[in-house]
Amino acid sequence: MRTYIVGNWKLNFTVGEASIYLHKLLKKMPNYRDIEVVVAPSTIALQPLSLQIDRHKMKLSAQNAFYRDYGAFTGETSFTQLRGIVDYCIIGHSERRYIFSESDKVVSKKVAAAIRNKITPILCIGETESERAFGETKDVIKDQLIGGLSEIGDDDIDKIIVAYEPVWAISSTKSSKLAAPDEIADAVKLIREILSEVYGKKVAESVPVLFGGSVNPSNAGAYLTVPGVNGLLIGGSSLILSEFTDIIEIAKRVHA
C-alpha cells in the first residue's frame, strides 16, 4: 500500500501565499510513486491551485464541503463543484465537529456526497481528552467510524481513507500531550477490527488508516512505523515547507 502524507493547511495562507508555497514545494519535491502527497488549502485557493499543481507529484484535498450538490444553501460549496478540482476531501475533522457542531449524521452525508462525486473522503475520527479520561475511547471511535460510514454501501467502502486523530494530541506544544506509538497502535487495531466486523477482513486490511496529531519531522518516523498506520495527516508542520518536505523524505525512507 502507498504511504499518504497529507498537509492540512486549515485557515492559513492567502491564495497568493498558497500559490507561492505550492510552487516551492513542487520544485523541491521528487516524484515518489509510492508516496501519495496531498495538500489541503482553503476552499478559495483550490481552483487556482488545481491549475498549478502537477498531479503526477501530488494531489489536492478540500478541508470540507457541503453534502447537497446544488440548491438554496447560502455560503456552502458542494462536492459537485469540487469534482475535477480535488481528489480528496477531509471530512469530520474535530474542528468541524466541535467548532461547527457537525454530527456523525452530517459527516456520513458528506462521506456519501464525496464518493458520489468521485472524491476520496478522508474520514477523521478520534476521542477528546475527557472521553479518554472517562474510558470512552473505544466507544467514540466505534460510533464515529460506523456513524461516518453509515450512508455508503459495501461497494464503496474501499474508496475511503480513515484518519485517527485523538483531539487531545492535535496542535499540541507539550510533549506530554503527544500520542504514544502504542496508543496509536491500539486505536488503529480497533479501527481495523470494527471494519472487519462490519465489512469483512479484506476491507479491514485494505482501507488506509492515517494518524494525525502534532506530527513533525522528529516524530514522523516513529508514527509511520506504528503497525497498521499507512500515513500521516499533518497540520502545523505542513505549513513550514522544510518540515513538510522532511516528513515526505522520512516517509520515503520508512516505505523503502
Site residue total, ligand PGA (CB under 6 A): 13
Window of 49-57, 79-87, 148-156, 232-240 that interacts with ligand PGA by CB under 6 A: 232-240
Which residues have a catalytic role annotated? 93, 165
Site pattern 157..196 for ligand PGA (x: CB under 6 A): --------x----xx-------------------------
CB of 153 to ligand PGA, least distance (A): 28
What's the grid cell of residue 250? 522520512
CB of 10 to ligand PGA, least distance (A): 7
Window of 11-19, 25-33, 113-121, 235-243 that interacts with ligand PGA by CB under 6 A: 235-243
Residue 137 as a binder of ligand PGA (CB under 6 A): the answer is: no
Of 49, 50, 187, 43, nearest to 127 (Cα)? Answer: 187
Residue 234 as a binder of ligand PGA (CB under 6 A): the answer is: yes
Contact of 117 with 80, CB cutoff 8 Å: yes
Residue 214 as a binder of ligand PGA (CB under 6 A): the answer is: yes
Window of 56-64, 181-189, 195-203, 209-217 that interacts with ligand PGA by CB under 6 A: 209-217
Residues that bind ligand PGA (CB under 6 A): 8, 165, 170-171, 212-215, 233-237
